[in-house]
Amino acid sequence: MAFINENYTKLPGSYLFSDIAKKVNEFKAAHPEANVIRLGIGDVTKPLPSAIINAMHAAVDEMADASTFRGYGPEQGYDFLVNTIVENDYKARGLDISADEIFVSDGSKSDTGNIGDILGLDNIVAVTDPVYPVYVDTNVMSGRAGELQANGKWNKLVYIPCTSENDFVPSLPTEKVDIVYLCYPNNPTGTTLTKDQLKVWVDYALQNKVLILFDGAYKEFITESDVPHSIYEIEGAREVAIEFRSFSKTAGFTGTRCAYTVVPKTVMGYTKTGEKVSYNKLWNRRHTTKFNGVPYIIQRAAEACFSAEGKKQIKDIIDYYMNNAKIIREGLTSEGLQVYGGVNSPYIWVKTPKGMTSWGFFDYLLNDLHVVGTPGVGFGPSGEGYLRLTAFGTLENTKEAVSRLKKISI
Ligand code: PLP
């Protein structure tokens, strides 16, 4: 008889986005004439730019010729991509990251989930609240989260509230913590930490031997100069932080799939007997055992993101989304709503008016204004009383949605 991993049975059955889809579908069935605008999606809508498409086409042709055909490649990524990442994303910014510290993968969702494979099950894990749900759910699956309580929290996780009350700056935990997930610019709140604010966390991690798992999926949306693009801009971070980066939101790769994780050789974990072990060694072992590399064609596409033409085209797309963010932010602010994020991130975090719940505000927007957002409470208990809007729609839909949102009577 084979037994299941019972931790999986603890995960709540329905998922936030399927609940939303169900409500929207029901509404559309009842009101087929309504023009429903979705500002809830976390997916990009613009197609891949030509520099990337051309690189993919060229790579496809290489696959058709015996002299240039590629089979299995290095699990960690081809040198041409790894070296391009090191040069452009790190060396050009004066950051000391070497090629054997980069692991190319099929996504940061996989990497932020799979990183748990190399972490002991007794570690105490902290998450900011609200949070990208993958960090929590993958710790539930491995057994580090414990049991779900009536207040929506898992009893073994440490939740660090990030709300308008603390300006979305997480306070250092007062209890013992071994691992902390930080995501900046943040999904879902769209807020960021300055270099000084992130330094507080790096110093804390150095003093307390805490491992920081830093998710930088939205770094390309940063517009302000005091916001770090990489945690390694903070002195000492090479000793305590693993960084996750993705081409998904940066370059429209949500359906193309490419990301990378940086595991500096200087980040150490400990055995039960106190012996130091490099996470780089462990992640290399895990990655080469369980993963066979990102397709050659996709790695050539990722490489093209760093060409002069690729950079320019990607920037134009990001500027387009950030213009949407500005329209949402300014439009809602002018109506007296409290709005956060949207300056260094494609996410806008709206405080619900009149003390409505997240779902109450969601229902109101859907039923009365035909606009879809994402209820903040779906991202954690501290998300209650907020709703997330995204800048990934078209300009036309964004403008139309904002003009409808201006009809909110608050
Ligand atoms: N990390 C964060 C914070 C995200 O919001 C997302 C996607 O929404 C991801 C990671 C997933 O990235 P990928 O598409 O590379 O798996």
Which stretches of 106-162 are assigned E, i.e. beta strand?
Answer: 125-129, 158-161
Question: Ligand 1 centroid vs 346 CA: distance in angstroms?
Answer: 13
Count CA within 13 A, CB hemisphere, residue 333: 12
Domains and CATH numbers, the chain: 6-47+310-406 (3.90.1150.10), 53-307 (3.40.640.10)
Predicted local distance difference test score (pLDDT) of residue 12: 85
Quick one: residue 132, left, alpha or beta (phi over 0 = left, psi -120 to 50 = alpha)? beta
Rg, the chain, Cα only: 22
Please report, in range form, the residues annotated as the binding site for substrate: 15, 42, 109, 132, 187, 292, 388
Question: In the structure encoding, which two tokens stand for residue 153, read together?
Answer: 């929290």
Mean pLDDT for back-to-back runs of 10 residues, the chain (410 residues): 96 83 95 94 92 98 98 98 98 97 98 98 98 96 97 97 98 97 98 98 98 98 97 98 97 97 98 97 98 98 98 98 97 95 98 95 96 96 98 96 85
φ/ψ of 11, rounded to 5, equals -70, 130
Question: Ligand 1 centroid vs 213 CA: distance in angstroms?
Answer: 14
Question: Ligand 1 centroid vs 216 CA: distance in angstroms?
Answer: 9
pTM of the model: 0.97
Q: Which residues line ligand 1 (CB under 6 A)?
A: 42, 107-109, 112, 132, 183, 187, 215, 217, 246, 248, 254, 259
- Whole-angstrom Cα distance, residue 172 to residue 83? 36
Instruction: Pick the residue whose CA is nearest to atom 2 on ligand 1.
Output: 217
Question: Ligand 1 centroid vs 175 CA: distance in angstroms?
Answer: 28
Please choose, from the candidates 172, 164, 158, 207, the residue with its C-alpha nearest in 3D space to the C-alpha of residue 189.
164
Instruction: Pick the residue whose CA is nearest to atom 1 on ligand 1.
Output: 217
Amino acid identity at 399: K
Cα 79 vs. chain centroid, distance in angstroms? 25
Question: In the structure encoding, which two tokens stand for residue 340, read together?
Answer: 């956060």
SS3 state at 32 = coil
